[in-house]
Structure 1
Amino acid sequence: MTSQTATSTTATQATSQGSHAWVLTLELPGREMTTQYGTWTPANGATRHNVFIALKEHLVAQQPQMASANTIFFSLEPNQL
């Protein structure tokens, strides 16, 4: 595989991902902690807070026990180098 092909493949993979990379860690002190991550393309005009709430709701839908958990870490960054 040549450098050009590798670059081309990487560019194709990046465009199929969301515009932002995120990481969210929630904790129920002394009981449980969970971290999830992924990519997301926020709607036009969305704020960082809108994305945080949507991601937390997504995580809680998968793990309902985390509904009252503390947020330990949240990162939302443009998904590019």
Structure 2
Amino acid sequence: MTVPASVYRPVSVEPTHSWVITLQKPLRTGFATFTVDGTYTAKPGSTRQQAYKDIRAWVEQQKPELVDANVMFFSLESNQL
């Protein structure tokens, strides 16, 4: 899953980072756990914290039931090998 163009992804620019996030939220019968990955294009001068906030907001927009879920795992790495 790729963060949409509206979250800092100009068409002419290759994604700068690859990410993975796992969220978990308690339910009456157990837990809802969701893992998703994608790519992110950072604006010049942006921070890792801003990338996390952008990605988390996008995931919560896609899966509103995970708003306020606990982050079990988050990784943001350079997309270039």
CA–CA distance in structure 2, aligned partners of residues 62 and 39 of structure 1: 15
Give the aligned partner of residue 19 of structure 1.
Answer: 16
- SS at structure 1 position matched to 2:42: coil
Deviations, residues 56-78 of structure 1 (Å, cap 9, x unaligned):
00000011011110000000000
* Alpha-carbon offset, residue 31 of structure 1: 2.1
Identity of paired residues, percent? 39
**Superposed structure 1 runs of 4+ greater than 2 Å apart:** none
- SS at structure 2 position matched to 1:46: coil
Give the TM-score, by structure 2 length.
Answer: 0.75
Where do 5+ consecutive residues of structure 1 fail to align? 1-14
1:76 aligns with 2:73: no
- SS at structure 1 position matched to 2:34: strand
1:60 aligns with 2:57: no
Structure with the greater alpha carbon radius of gyration:
1
Deviations, residues 29-71 of structure 1 (Å, cap 9, x unaligned):
3320101101111111111110001000000001101111000
1:22-37 to structure 2, matched below 5 A, reads 22-29=19-26, 30-37=30-37
Q: Look up the equivalent residue of 2:52 and give its one-letter code.
A: F
Give the aligned partner of residue 9 of structure 1.
Answer: none
Where do 5+ consecutive residues of structure 2 fail to align? 1-11
CA–CA distance in structure 1, aligned partners of residues 63 and 14 of structure 2: 24
**Larger proportion of strand:** 2
Q: Look up the equivalent residue of 1:19 and give its one-letter code.
A: T
Give the aligned partner of residue 39 of structure 1.
Answer: 39
